[in-house]
Amino acid sequence: MPALRERVRGLLPAARADLEALVRIPGVSSWPDAAAALDESAAVVADLLRGAGMREVEVLRARCADGSPGAPAVLARRPAPAGAPTVLLYAHHDVQPPGPAAAWTSPAFEPAERDGRLYGRGTADDKAGVMAHVTALRALLPAWGPQEGVGVVVLVEGEEESGSPSLPDLLATHGDRLAADVVVVADSDNWSVDRPSLTTSLRGLLELEVGVRTLDHPLHSGLYGGLVPDATTALTVLLARLWDDEGDLAVEGLVRGEAADLPRTEEELRADAGVLEGVALVGRGSLLARTWSRPSATVVATDATPMADASNTLAASARAKLSVRLAPGQDVDEAERLVTAHLETTTPFGAHLEVRRLGSGRPFDGASAGDAAVLAAADWALTTAWDGATVAHQGMGGSIPVVAELLDVLPGATVLVTGVEDPDTRAHGVDESLSLRVLEGACTAEALLLARLAGQA
Ligand code: BES
Ligand code: MN
Ligand code: MN
C-alpha cells in the first residue's frame, strides 16, 4: 500500500490544477441563467472521468416534476469483474451562490491558496469531492485489467444545492444502471483537518415559505399605527413564537434524539463557528445533539419593506423562508404537519397565514448500518490516509437528501458518507476553503478503500 499512497501523492498536483479549473466555472444551480456554466462543468467532469480511464461516460438530463429540464448530471460506469463488488461514487458539481462579492478576500471563482488552504466557491463543497473520486480512479484504473478491481459507477449531480429536483426522474429512468453494493458520498465534513470522519447520520430538511397578510393595502403608520396590526410585526411575532426562551424549537411532537458523546467543548464549537463574545448558544441537550439529532429552524430569508423604501407605512404583507432541519428518524410530511399546526395556532392578531412547502429532503440514519467488512475497510482506509488518526464516527447537522433517495433504489447497499470539508471550510459562506491536507487525505483514503474492496490491500 505504500506504493498506492505514493502514486496518489504524485497525482495531487493534477488534482489541484483540475480542481482550480472546476472552481473557475460558476455553476450555481439556483441561478436562473446557470445552464451554460452547468453544461460546461458537466462536460469538464465527464472529460476528467474519461481521462481517468472510465470508458462509459455520459451526461444525463432528467426532468423535474413540472416537466422542466434538470441540471446535467454525469454518469460513468465500469462493469464489475466476476465476483467483485460495485462501488458507486457520488459528488455534485454545482455550487451555492457566492453572496456579496466585496466580502470575499479573493474573488469567489478565482481559486487562491493561503496557508495550506485553497479558497473559492466550491473548492470544498463539492468540487473537491469530485476530484477525490477522479484521483482515486486515476491511481487505480490504469493498473486494473478488465477482470481486476471493482465495478465502478460515478454519479456527479449538477443540482444538489437546489434540492435535486430532477433526481427522482433520473433514478426512475437510470436506477438500474446505478446498481452498487457500496456507495461513497464524498460531500460531508471531517472532525478536523487532522482527524477524518465517517458521517453516521444527517439531518433532513423542510423549507417553508411563511406568508402573513393583515391588510388590503398599506396604511399611513401615524394614522393607523396602534390600532391596526401590520404584517411585518405580525410575521416577527409569529417567527419569535417558534422558539422558547432558551432558543430551543418550540414545535411539539418532532423527533428529538441524543447524540454520541464525542469530545467537543463549548469553547471549540464557539471558535469554529465564530460566535461573538457574550453571545449565548441556543437550544437544549448535549452540544453535539443540538445539531446532529435535534430539529432546528432558521429564518434564511425575509421579504419585508427594504430600508431604502421605508415610507412610514404599515405593511400589508410580509413573508419569510424557514429552513427547518429534521432529526434522523423524522418523517418529513409529519414534520410539515406539526410545524404548520404550530404556526396556525400561534399566528397573532388573526393575521391571514399561508404556509407553502418549497422543498424538502429526508434525513439519513446510518449508525452501524451496512456491511461490517465494508465499514472496517472504510475505517482502515481513512486511518491510514490520516497517518493513524482515529476516525470520528459522527452525525452531521447538514443534509444530503440524495442519500435517502439512493437507498430507495439500492436498498441493500452500504453507504459511506465521507467528505472534504473541515470546521474551517465555511461551505456556502464567504471565503469558502478547502484544506489541502484534507484533499490529500480524501484522495488517498478513497484509493485505499477501492483497492481493499478489490481485494488488493
Ligand atoms: N455538502 C452539503 C451538506 C453537508 C455539509 C452535510 C457538511 C454534512 C456536512 C450539501 O451540499 C448541502 O449543502 N446540502 C444542503 C441541502 C440541499 C437540499 C440544499 C443543506 O444542508 O443545506
Ligand atoms: Mn455538498
Ligand atoms: Mn452544499
129-154: pLDDT as tens digits: 999 999 999 999 999 998 999 999 99
Per-residue pLDDT reduced to its tens digit, 234-272: 999 999 999 999 999 999 999 999 887 788 899 999 998
pLDDT at 368: 66
Q: What is the CATH number of the domain that holds 372?
A: 3.40.630.10
Q: Which of 190, 293, 400, 420 to mutate to test the pocket of ligand 1 (most atoms within 8 A of CB)?
A: 400
Average pLDDT over residues 171-191: 97
End-to-end CA distance of the chain: 7
Give the rounded percent of residues in the chain with a pLDDT score beyond 70.
100
pLDDT at 116 over 90: yes
Question: What is the gyration radius of the CA atoms in the chain, in angstroms?
Answer: 23
Locus of grid cell 425575509: 302
Please tell me whether residues 24 and 124 are part of one structural domain: yes
- For 295-307, what is the mean pLDDT? 96
- Overall average pLDDT of the 427-444 stretch: 98
Q: 349 and 377 share a domain?
A: no
Range of the domain at 83: 2-202+364-453
The Cβ of residue 51 has, within 10 Å, a number of other Cβ atoms equal to 14
CA angle 223, 226, 229 (to 5 degrees): 100
- Centre of ligand 1 to C-alpha 250, Å, is 24
Centroid of ligand 2 to alpha carbon of 84 (angstroms): 29
Distance 187 CA to ligand 2 centre (A): 5
**Residue of 123, 399, 417 with the most ligand 1 atoms within 8 Å of its CB, for mutation:** 399
**Counted domains in the chain:** 2
- 221 and 83 housed in the same domain: no
pLDDT band at 2 (very low <50, low <70, confident <90, very high): confident
Ligand 1 mutation pick, 123, 160, 434, max ligand atoms within 8 A of CB: 160
How many residues does this entry show for the chain? 457
CA distance 179 to 164: 20
Could you give the strand order of the β-sheet that contains 317-326, starting from the edge strand earlier in sequence?
296-303, 317-326, 204-213, 352-361
- Among all bound ligands, the one having the nearest atom to the CA of 359 is 1
60/109 same-domain check: yes
β-pair type (112-114, 56-60): unpaired
Strand (E) or helix (H) holding 298 = strand 296-303
- Find the residues whose C-beta lies inside 6 A of ligand 1: 125-126, 160-161, 163, 187-189, 202, 205, 361, 396, 398-401, 421, 427
Residues 208 and 138 in one domain: no
The pLDDT value given to residue 121: 98
What pLDDT was estimated at residue 457?
Answer: 65
Is the pLDDT at 362 greater than 70? The verdict is yes
Ligand nearest to the CA of 127: 2
Per-residue confidence (pLDDT) for residue 263, from 0 to 100: 85
Q: Same structural domain for residues 341 and 438?
A: no
Q: Rounded CA gap, 15 and 48, in Å? A: 10
Map residue 92 onto helix, strand or coil.
strand
In angstroms, the Cα distances linking 94 to 148, 165, 253, 354, 441 are: 33, 13, 35, 31, 23
Q: How far apart are CA 179 and CA 234, in angstroms?
A: 51
Tell me the pLDDT tens digit for each residue of 75-91. Answer: 999 999 999 999 999 99
The 10s digit of each residue's pLDDT in 221-233 is 999 999 999 999 9
**pLDDT reading at 456 higher than 80:** no
pLDDT at 296: 98
Ligand 1, atom nearest to 125 Cα: 1
